[in-house]
Amino acid sequence: MLTLYGTKGSGSAAVEAALARAGMAYTGVDAASWNPGPGRDELLRVNPLGQIPTLLLPDGMALTESAAILIHLGLVAAPGLLLPSDAGARARVLRGLVYIAANCYAAISVIDYPERWCDPCEDTVKAQIRAGTRARLHEHWRVFADEFSIGFDAGSPGALELLATVVSKWSGSRAHLQAERPAFHAQLLRVEQHPDVAPVFRRHWP
């Protein structure tokens, strides 16, 4: 049995949606580094960084990093479901997953915790860091929309569509995309409405 550590409104939604798409059973543990309690204590035992999502595999190995988890699930799920079977299309998806992790997800960490990058960090400096990082994040999403909208399959969402749909919900990125890249924004909404995905999104964002 797989065990997924995560909490509402977090990146664990992308993994939950992938598990739902693949029909894989799992046990969920409500855990986050910012929520004290037994869930966090258990999470820290399997992932010292306390990051979510963390997926505990049946052999006891803790798999971390959203992109890595989704790639793993794509490799063990039915061929073509979460990762394309075609080598060229799969390479594009792998690039997109790492793009989101390296650029968009990383920016969210700075926006949420600017004090980790400046200590001591006055409120005015925190505000400057957040504003600059948010602008950079939105630029990353504009580039993503231009680079990956072709082949973005909202009707049959795989790993890339799921991760993009979740991570774009944070720090005003959706409103920015709606204004700057409305066609791509519409595709994200279609992913949310997919029958396998919609129940997951309703749990995370009621």
Q: What is the pLDDT along the chain (206 residues), one digit of tens a residue?
A: 899 999 999 999 999 999 999 999 999 999 999 999 999 999 999 999 999 999 999 999 999 999 999 999 999 999 999 999 999 999 999 999 999 999 999 999 999 999 989 888 999 999 999 999 999 999 999 999 999 999 999 999 999 999 999 999 999 999 999 999 999 999 999 999 999 999 999 999 99
Report the C-alpha dihedral over residues 90, 95, 99, 105, rounded to 10 degrees.
40
pLDDT the model gives residue 120: 87
Burial 40-65 (b: 16+ CB within 10 A, else e): bebbeebbeebbbbbbbeeeeeebbb
pLDDT at residue 77 in the model: 98
Distance of CA 4 to the CA centre of its chain: 14
Nearest CA to 83 among 172, 159, 25, 155? 159
- Predicted TM-score (pTM) of the model is 0.96
